[in-house]
Amino acid sequence: MTYVRLAGVTRVHGEGATAVHALKGVSLELDVGELVAVMGPSGSGKSTLLNLAGGLDRPTSGTVHIGEQDLAGVRDLAALRRRSVGYVFQDLNLITSLTAAENVMLPRELDGVRSGRARQEAMAVLAEVDSADLADRFPEELSGGQRQRIAIARALVGERRLLLADEPTGALDTRTGDEILRILRARCDAGAAVLLVTHEPRYAAWADRVVFLRDGMIADTTDTPLASAR
Amino acid sequence: MSIRHGLLALLSTGSRHGYQLRVEFEASTGATWPLNIGQVYTTLSRLERDGLVEPGESDEQGRVAYTITAAGREELARWFGTPVVQSDRPRDELVIKLAMAVAAGRADVAEVIHKQRTATMRALQRLTTAKRAATDGAAQRLVIDSMIFQAEAEQRWLDHCEAVLKEES
Ligand SMILES: Nc1ncnc2c1ncn2[C@@H]1O[C@H](COP(=O)(O)OP(=O)(O)OP(=O)(O)O)[C@@H](O)[C@H]1O
Ligand SMILES: [Mg+2]
């Protein structure tokens, strides 16, 4: 069952002579329970693709569907994102004035979950990424890899059905990176759809399908689903 | 390729007969290094000749358990204590194929790279699936990890080739 569908998507930043054609007609479907990895050189459009798939940005042309909904017709994209989409940003985007636990609780509280319950949920996902002991620290008191895990916990909280992760293993050593992929994979096997951007082949290999972007287009893909992947 | 030292390492934790050695050797190398029982016995008899192991009495089923000797333990310690030499790599067909395609100015170099990258990624996916399924302990997983790192190096090299060739064209 398809959960996310991008059809003929283009994205042009700016206008006229300085226009950047970040995506030039990309079609991609992501099934429930599927992990798709996106690889490609710097500037090839990976983050742009992820932003469009999660409704953080709108395409110049083409359509994006999440579930049954055409995002072009959704007024409150922020609400849809909070309910359905977990996002790990390339630059992490943790709020420096909040502790790790508060950062993780935030999307739930914005969604109207009471703070006691939000804290419980936050502690559960922090434990899942092996960071329960960091709950009360502020981002600047954490190492790069620790911050990375908190950002991942924030994306996992609240059982969101679509996870978008932009280089979630960036600052991690390979053993910890594998651990993060194991967690994303488990979410997938539990029914989430995961779109992962990575420049590291070892992490892309956890995916059911790997898509290679070049200059805003899909250059090749390991399309035939692996019979032995599950 | 030291089957000798692999068997000595297994025997250093207790006596075993040939069949057990074969099973445990394969389990700890993640079945990536299959041994036939003939190789095990040939190796054991050489180890015995060199005084590194000793055969015991055969049991009622005719199986002989081997025990490591003091000289065997010494040899094993020497092996673990010596780094492996980065020996001359066997000629790599992929490297030759790409070098030849570039040198001959073939138009389909990019295509060669694309095809290979997809194939290598598939191999990497299969290895990762095997790693996720590996339950026989850390030794087995680490052997698979080694192959993952090698496949990853090839993948990175292909990306690098593509970027360099794009620059030159
Ligand atoms: N807001 C923006 N305004 C103008 N150009 C942009 C904007 N965002 C992205 N771009 C351009 O779009 C292209 C694709 O950018 P994108 O961030 O998607 O690349 P990427 O594949 O994620 O790269 P990296 O691996 O470096 O993160 C680049 O040329 C980039 O400069
Ligand atoms: Mg990016």
Q: Which residue of A has its CA nearest to B115?
A: A220
The per-residue pLDDT for A121 is: 93
Cβ of A198 closer than 6 Å to ligand 1, yes or no, is no
Structural domain contains residue A66: no
Same domain? B73 vs B116: no
Give the tokens for residue A228. Answer: 């032995």
Measured CA to CA, the distance from residue A162 to residue A83 in angstroms comes to 10
Determine the average pLDDT of the residues in B150-169.
Answer: 87
One domain for residues B60 and B110: no
| Model pLDDT for residues B91-146, shown as the tens digit of each residue | 677 887 787 778 777 777 888 888 888 889 999 999 999 998 887 788 888 999 99
Domain boundary among B38, B53, B86: B86
Q: Average pLDDT of chain B?
A: 86
- Mark whether B97 and B123 lie in a shared domain: yes
With a 6 Å cutoff on the Cβ, whether A225 touches ligand 1 is: no
How much of chain A, in percent, has pLDDT values that exceed 90?
A: 58
Q: Starting at the earlier edge strand, list the strands of the sheet with A20-31.
A: A20-31, A2-13, A61-66, A69-70
pLDDT, residue A229, reads: 40
Q: What is the pLDDT of residue A169?
A: 87
Rg, Å, chain A Cα set: 17
CA–CA dist A160, A67 (Å, integer) = 13
Is pLDDT of A230 > 50?
no
| B65 & B94 share domain | no
In a domain, A80, yes or no: yes
Closest residue in B to A223 (Cα–Cα): B118
| Chain B residues within 8 A of A226 when measuring between CB atoms | 122, 125-126, 129
Which residues of B fall within a CB distance of 8 Å from A202? 124, 128, 148-149, 152
CATH of the domain at A142: 3.40.50.300
In a domain, A183, yes or no: yes
d(CA A133, CA A135): 6
Provide the domain count of chain A. Answer: 1
Choose the residue to mutate in A6, A12, A15, A20 for probing ligand 1, maximizing ligand atoms within 8 Å of C-beta: A20
The count of C-alpha atoms lying within 13 angstroms of the C-alpha of A180, restricted to the half-sphere facing its C-beta, is: 32
Q: A172 exposed, middle or buried (CB, 10 Å; 0-12, 13-18, 19+)?
A: buried
Work out the average pLDDT over B28-40: 81
Ligand 1 in reach of A40 Cβ (< 6 A): yes
> What pLDDT does residue B165 have?
87
What's the pLDDT tens digit per position in B137-151? 888 889 999 999 999
Last residue of a domain, one of B86, B107, B130: B86
Residues of B in contact with A210 (CB under 8 A): 121, 125
pLDDT surpassing 50 at residue A48: yes
- Separation CA A179–CA A200 (nearest Å): 15
Q: Does A185 touch chain B (CB under 8 A)?
A: yes
In a domain, A16, yes or no: no
Q: Total structural domains in chain B?
A: 2
- Nearest CA to A177 among A149, A157, A138? A149
- Mutation to test the A interface, candidates B113, B114, B118, most A Cβ within 10 Å: B118
- Whole-angstrom distance, CA of residue A212 vs CA of residue A36: 11
The residue whose CA has the least distance to atom 2 of ligand 1 is: A13
On whether both B157 and B119 belong to a single domain, the answer is yes
Alpha carbon of residue A63 to chain centroid: 19
Quick one: tokens of A54? 């999660």
Same domain (yes/no): B138, B125: yes
Residues B22 and B74 in one domain: yes
Q: Are A187 and A35 in contact (CB under 8 A)?
A: no
* A98 assigned to some structural domain: yes
In a domain, A8, yes or no: no
Residues B30 and B73 both lie in one domain: yes
**Is any ligand 1 atom within 6 A of the Cβ of residue A46?**
yes
The pLDDT value given to residue A228: 41
Q: Among all ligands shown, which has an atom nearest to the Cα of A22?
A: 1
Q: Quick one: B24 and B96 in the same domain?
A: no
Is residue A155, in this structure, part of any structural domain at all?
yes
| Residue B17: strand, helix, or coil | strand
Q: Which domain holds residue A103?
A: 31-59+75-229
**CATH classification of the domain holding B67:** 1.10.10.10
Tell me which of B42, B60, B86 is where a domain ends.
Answer: B86
Determine the distance from the C-alpha atom of residue B136 to the mean position of all C-alpha atoms in its chain, rounded to a whole number.
17
Could you give the CA distance from residue B138 to residue B131 in angstroms, rounded to a whole number? 10
- Give the containing element (helix H, strand E) for A176: helix A174-189
Encoded tokens for B139 = 């030794």
Q: Which residues of B142-154 are buried (b: 16+ CB within 10 A; e: fewer)?
A: ebbbebbeebbeb
Rg over CA atoms, chain B: 22
Do B10 and B82 fall within a single domain?
yes
Question: Rounded distance, CA A182 to CA A87, Å?
Answer: 17
pLDDT confidence tier of residue A227, bands split at 50, 70 and 90: very low
Neighbours of A43 (CB within 10 A): 13
Q: Which domain holds residue B55?
A: 3-86
Q: What is the mean pLDDT of residues B68-76?
A: 93
Q: Residue A76 has what pLDDT?
A: 86
Per-residue model confidence (pLDDT) at position B86? 58
- Structural domain includes residue A174: yes
Q: What is the pTM of this model?
A: 0.81
Specify the pLDDT at position B85. Answer: 65
Closest CA to ligand 1's atom 11: A22
Highest mean pLDDT among A28-32, A109-113, B94-98: A28-32
Q: Do A222 and B163 touch (CB under 8 A)?
A: no
pLDDT digits (tens, 9 = 90+) for A77-107: 888 888 889 888 777 789 999 999 999 999 8
The predicted structure's pLDDT at residue A39? 94
